[in-house]
Structure 1
Amino acid sequence: MKNRKDYIYKNSINCPIGTINFAGYHTHSPSKMNKMRYLGKYAFAYLIDGAGFYYDEFGNKENIESGDFIMVYPDTGHCYGAADNTTWETLYFVFEGQIFDYLRANNILNPKQPIFTLKPQIEWRRKLLKLMDDFRKAKPSDTLTLIIQLQEIISHALKTPKGLKQIDKSGWVQKTIAYIKEYYLEEINYQELASHFNINYDTFRKYFKNEMGLSLTKFQLSLVMEKAGFYLCEENLSVKETSNLLNYCDEFHFSKQFKKTTGMSPRQYKLLLHTKI
């Protein structure tokens, strides 16, 4: 990516759940302009080279380095740029839509936690460049697929808030995440898990939520619903088959939980993802 000129792709593909407005590559040079700005849309910038700074109206201040992922919100004042005596290179996407509004309303997207880390960097750069190229060539029938791919990239970023390893000296947050990912289909006793790490339960649950943006139970539920989406759409299983595999007592309770979490019933979700735009 060295010495490449800035470029921008505009396609404005859209579907009922979201729109990608444009995407591109940009080189930032050190600037004395430190005024916060409001974008009016969602966006993210992935730093592929260089170093810089970030701060916002919530008081967040971070040194940004290669591999960092900056999430921008429509109504949040923010400022970022290259550090003195250096430049930085970013890949970015600008987007909007009800799926992102829904994720924010449910605190999955949290403007108070804007910086994440995606590594290995070479792999995420490859994925973002491919998504950008697909976006550039997209036809209307490709829209939903691209929105889902964009959402999946954001979901991966949300799992690794910047500074997590530095703050979590003992590594118990990462170990807790690994444990939940292994046993998310079972009933987990979080008080026992806190005791295992010799941490007060109240501190355990509050710290986890602060770092991940989700409570322990909501994080576990997000994994269940992610698996549900896979069964419904990728494996093309019925709602009943999916509820059985996810250990729900019956189809009704699964459907109720799925709608509460995603905003649509399993059948609506299945139909939406199998309908060409």
Structure 2
Amino acid sequence: MAERSPLPSQLVVRATATTPVGAVRAAGRLRASHGLPASPLRVLDSYAAVYLLAGSGRYADANGTRTALAPGDLLLLFPGLGHTYGPQPGQTWSELYLLFDGPVFDLWRSTGLLDPARPARRLAPVDRWAAAFERVFVELQRTGTGAALSTVCALLTVLADAEPTAPPEDAQADHWWLSRASALLDADIRREQPLEAIAARLSMSYDGFRKRFRRLAGVAPARYRTQRSIDRACELLAEGELTGRQIAAALGFNDEFHFSRRFRQLTGSTPSQFRSALPSLPHRATVVSGRTDGPAVPDGRQPPHRR
């Protein structure tokens, strides 16, 4: 049986059904996440996949792997391997995540299809790949004979499609560029700089900047920047210290009405509806504010740190 949260924009699904080959244990969407602390390194007992929707940051693990992360990066986490990841200091990001385990995933690891030496993969455009992962979410909510196996097969299909095909040098250049562009947009959460000025900082025309960003991130830079403002608004609403009017002013909206209208367009609820729904959601910090040590284990608790 699967459990779904009451907030459509903050989806959490957990399942208890398993199969002889493995299982997808949980899936969720985190908005305005702060990621993990730099230390101690967290160790999971299962595999996890984290797909970055917005924001930029970094990943590091006990093997010495260090990599920058940008929207459209898929981060694979491995059981027994200490790791940390998260956005730039003082910022947040949005992500989809899945927790899974079982013999079929161990087999993929033993053959190198899942490789701790290359934990990050570039999957763009974001909207296409987000939809692919969300189809796994849909499978996870099914019940009945074969539902758990169908979910495993759906995830394996996405992971197989995620095998890199672009030349490494091209992918690396695109990754660096998108990480830089995302960081510039994230730093302007009040939307005070003209996008033409941000394009100029990347030595590009606005049209070239817009087209390249949309190709790599799956969304136009203007919408991306607005989405990051709304992500920050979700975080402030969850903290409960500011009124809607104060949040609107802090994030550079014309007024509270403008803020409420844009918030509803992007989340499906008004700020007041979003805030009033928070107390009804178990493990509020894990699901909404992103103040968490990462994806929750299936019963909602965080996995213990192992030394």
| TM-score, normalised by the number of residues in structure 2 | 0.50
Q: 2:14 corresponds to which residue?
A: 10
Please tell me whether the aligned partners of residues 116 and 160 of structure 1 are also in contact (alpha carbons under 8 angstroms): no
Cα distance change, pair 76–125 in 1 and its aligned pair in 2 (3 A): same
Please tell me whether the aligned partners of residues 54 and 70 of structure 2 are also in contact (alpha carbons under 8 angstroms): yes
Identify which of 158, 161, 169 aligns with 1:156.
Answer: 161
Residues in 2 aligned to 1:134 and 1:4: alpha-carbon distance in whole angstroms: 16
Identify which of 45, 57, 69 aligns with 2:62.
Answer: 57
Residues in 1 aligned to 2:86 and 2:166: alpha-carbon distance in whole angstroms: 19
Equivalenced residue count is 167
1:238-257 aligned at under 5 Å gives the runs: none
Q: 2:104 corresponds to which residue?
A: 99
Please tell me whether the aligned partners of residues 36 and 86 of structure 2 are also in contact (alpha carbons under 8 angstroms): no
Q: 1:253 corresponds to which residue?
A: none
Q: 1:188 corresponds to which residue?
A: none
Identify which of 67, 72, 82 aligns with 1:67.
Answer: 72
1:10-29 aligned at under 5 Å gives the runs: 10-29=14-33
Residues in 2 aligned to 1:164 and 1:4: alpha-carbon distance in whole angstroms: 39
Identify which of 115, 118, 121 aligns with 1:110.
Answer: 115
1:59-208 aligned at under 5 Å gives the runs: 59-159=64-164, 164-165=169-170
Please report the RMSD computed on the Cα atoms of aligned residues, expressed in angstroms.
2.6
Amino acid at match of 1:146: T
Report deviation, 1:62. Answer: 1.2
Cα distance change, pair 162–144 in 1 and its aligned pair in 2 (3 A): farther
Cα distance change, pair 28–41 in 1 and its aligned pair in 2 (3 A): farther
Report deviation, 1:83. Answer: 1.1
Structure that is richer in strand per residue = 1
Amino acid at match of 2:30: H
Report deviation, 1:4. Answer: 7.2
Structure of greater relative contact order (alpha carbons < 8 Å, 6+ residues apart): 2
| TM-score, normalised by the number of residues in structure 1 | 0.55
Residues in 2 aligned to 1:118 and 1:22: alpha-carbon distance in whole angstroms: 21
The residue matched to 2:38 in structure 1 has which SS? coil
Residues in 1 aligned to 2:149 and 2:172: alpha-carbon distance in whole angstroms: 37
Report deviation, 1:52. Answer: 1.3
The residue matched to 1:110 in structure 2 has which SS? coil
Please tell me whether the aligned partners of residues 14 and 27 of structure 2 are also in contact (alpha carbons under 8 angstroms): yes
The residue matched to 2:149 in structure 1 has which SS? helix
Please tell me whether the aligned partners of residues 15 and 143 of structure 1 are also in contact (alpha carbons under 8 angstroms): yes
Residues 94-138 of structure 1 deviation map (CA, whole Å, 9 limit, x = unaligned) = 000100111111222111110001112111111211221221233
Residues in 1 aligned to 2:20 and 2:8: alpha-carbon distance in whole angstroms: 35
Residues in 2 aligned to 1:152 and 1:66: alpha-carbon distance in whole angstroms: 21
Residues in 1 aligned to 2:157 and 2:70: alpha-carbon distance in whole angstroms: 22
Q: What 5-or-longer segments of structure 1 have no aligned partner? A: 170-277
Please tell me whether the aligned partners of residues 54 and 61 of structure 1 are also in contact (alpha carbons under 8 angstroms): yes
The residue matched to 2:116 in structure 1 has which SS? coil
Q: Percent identity?
A: 25
Cα distance change, pair 79–142 in 1 and its aligned pair in 2 (3 A): same
Q: 2:192 corresponds to which residue?
A: none
